[in-house]
Structure 1
Amino acid sequence: MLFLKNKAKTLDIADYTVILPSICVGNAAQLACDLLIASKKLQRIGSLFHPCLIPVYGPSAYQHEPEERVASCELYTSVEDKLLVIQFRAPLIARHTNDFQKQLVELLQPARRVIILSGSFGFERRIMEDSPWAYRASDNFKEAHAAQLGNASLVKWKEHTGEHIFGGGNALQLFKAFDQLKVPVMLLFRYLLEGDNSTDASLIVRELNELCEDFLQLRNGGDGKFKLTVPKSWNLLFGNEVTELLF
């Protein structure tokens, strides 16, 4: 399942924070991970292969690594920040999902903490005045981050207690699998709609930074402004332009 560029057989993430997107409505979580990888200039260290992953292969998605190639599931890290971001570029094949999920959770079990990003259909937010943000956190995650989760600025997050996240992919199943193995884990998602979700992606990263600014460090130290880098792959986010030869 694991293929690392340095040919190592194991993934050393004992002190790492792992950010993991769920393939969700509008691909908002994947787009958020794109912004993290491009903004932090994370380095690709390898790939994951499994029958669950539809094979894809293509050119680099990021301007800071122009010679790299991308596949269905890529691993990007920052050694300095002890950060690992996993990126999916293809949907999952349903009949193999359970086995893939089991192997993925076992692979990431040594991590210090895991943060799952996702989205849910906007019409599932039954009360319009409610927050567009919801989260789920394991008890050990809440204990480790009591100050951040109790911060007044995060009151807008609503704690999710249901058994479903409609449009959220396998986010809730992943959360429960990590929690069962006692891995500190949090699931953060936003209610949104299909379409151009690049704005939602940037909002997800901004919210995540409020909790995890200690290792994301996406603010400029001089002026304090929030800085994101848009990856070059977004130039064709909705495909090529229509050729004039059609008219």
Structure 2
Amino acid sequence: MKVQSTKDLLCFTEIRDSWDDECFLDKLHVLAQGALSSWAMPLKMAALFPERHRGAVMRDVTCRYVQYLVNMIKIPEEINLENYTLMLPSVAIGNVGQLCIDLLISSLNLRKIGSLWNSMFLPICGLDPYDKKSNSICTTADFYLGTCHNIILLQLRSPYVGNSNEFFDELAQFIQRKRINKIIILTSSYDYECADRSEFKIKYLTSDESLSNDEKLLKNLCWIPHIKSLKTDSTEQCYIPGGGFANGLYGYLKTFGIPCTVLFKYCSEGDNVSDALVLFKGLNEWLNLINNDTNSIKYPSSWEYFFGNPPSLDMY
């Protein structure tokens, strides 16, 4: 393994020579960060330290190396997202939020600008779901940009299996660093949780004062505020059964003062295109993204294969 530059080697040697100083740990952290940014290997660094410290050095730097690999948001730095709205789905019952994001990407012809990798989600890779002729690929979590409407969409394509805290923290830091204005989470909930048929309209939770204080807009949208609550440890929290991580992310962003709105619809498993269309149209009435007619809605080409390939004619 090679150190990639003379500067790196000098840095390693300086840290090694100060291993018994009071500031050793601080310098070790600097070393780890510098090495990771230049892709030097933990083994090379550990070899420069006294033998009795190599195990600790390896563990510390390797942990940082893995952290760097598994928690990444890759978007070109030159893209200015200040005052943009970030929309993302929560993987939930019927995948309604994901279907709605698909409709937005396809109907607005948004372009992919980056991706997210986090150990919370199962890794996947596939063909471009919006253009059959494209040579690009899709991954577990991809970002799509709409400069005309100041929106950025994060599409999630696999279930989450890990701890959500790192994902929430990484996303919150990204939002603050890029000065994104507000967040919209799209999700769904079990229809058997709905006691009143009138509540099959869009329901919402919001910490966005520009929305919650606009009574006229909310009246025109005909959304229903979500008030179902769950008491835990003497605190009362709204929750969405079957809504995935929507509740958790909403609460997490709220603690940082980041305006966030959750939109969801009751549904059951099956063909949930109609549910996604309801969510899409409700969102469009709020943000005025496309003309309010069915001809403006474009289905992704990948939707042709929702239920697999057509049956073989040899069966008949």
TM category, shorter: 0.7 to 0.9
Of 86, 98, 111, the match for 1:43: 111
| Identity %, equivalent residues | 29
Change (3 A) 1:103 1:156: closer
Encode CA deviations 1:159-204: one digit per residue, 9 max, x unaligned: 3342321110010111111111111111110011110001111110
Distance in 2 between the 1:123 and 1:169 partners?
16
> For residue 83 of structure 1, what is the amino acid of its counterpart?
I
CA contact (8 A) 1:133 1:189 kept: yes
Distance in 2 between the 1:232 and 1:2 partners?
27
Determine the structure 1 residue equivalent to 2:224: 157
Structure 1 segments, 4+ long, off by >4 Å, are 143-147, 244-247
Moved more, 12-21 or 59-68: 59-68
> For residue 166 of structure 2, what is the amino acid of its counterpart?
D
CA contact (8 A) 2:190 2:241 kept: yes
Determine the structure 1 residue equivalent to 2:184: 115
Determine the structure 1 residue equivalent to 2:273: 198
* Aligned residue pairs, count: 234
Of 178, 195, 202, the match for 1:126: 195
Change (3 A) 1:90 1:99: same
Q: What are structure 2's unaligned runs of at least 5 residues?
A: 1-71, 230-237
CA contact (8 A) 1:116 1:171 kept: yes
CA contact (8 A) 1:141 1:185 kept: no
CA contact (8 A) 1:38 1:64 kept: no
Is the aligned partner of 1:104 residue 2:175?
no
Greater relative contact order, per chain length (Cα 8 Å cut-off, separation 6+): 1
Q: CA deviation at 1:28?
A: 0.5
Is the aligned partner of 1:240 residue 2:309?
yes
Distance in 2 between the 1:212 and 1:71 partners?
27
Determine the structure 2 residue equivalent to 1:29: 97
Change (3 A) 1:131 1:28: closer
> For residue 102 of structure 2, what is the amino acid of its counterpart?
D
Distance in 2 between the 1:246 and 1:64 partners?
28
Determine the structure 1 residue equivalent to 2:74: 3
Q: Partner of 2:144: helix, strand, or coil?
A: strand
Moved more, 231-240 or 154-163: 154-163
* TM-score scaled by length of structure 1: 0.86
* TM-score scaled by length of structure 2: 0.68
> For residue 281 of structure 2, what is the amino acid of its counterpart?
R
Q: CA RMSD in A?
A: 2.2
Q: Partner of 1:182: helix, strand, or coil?
A: coil
Q: Partner of 1:135: helix, strand, or coil?
A: strand
Q: CA deviation at 1:155?
A: 3.3
Distance in 2 between the 1:241 and 1:13 partners?
42
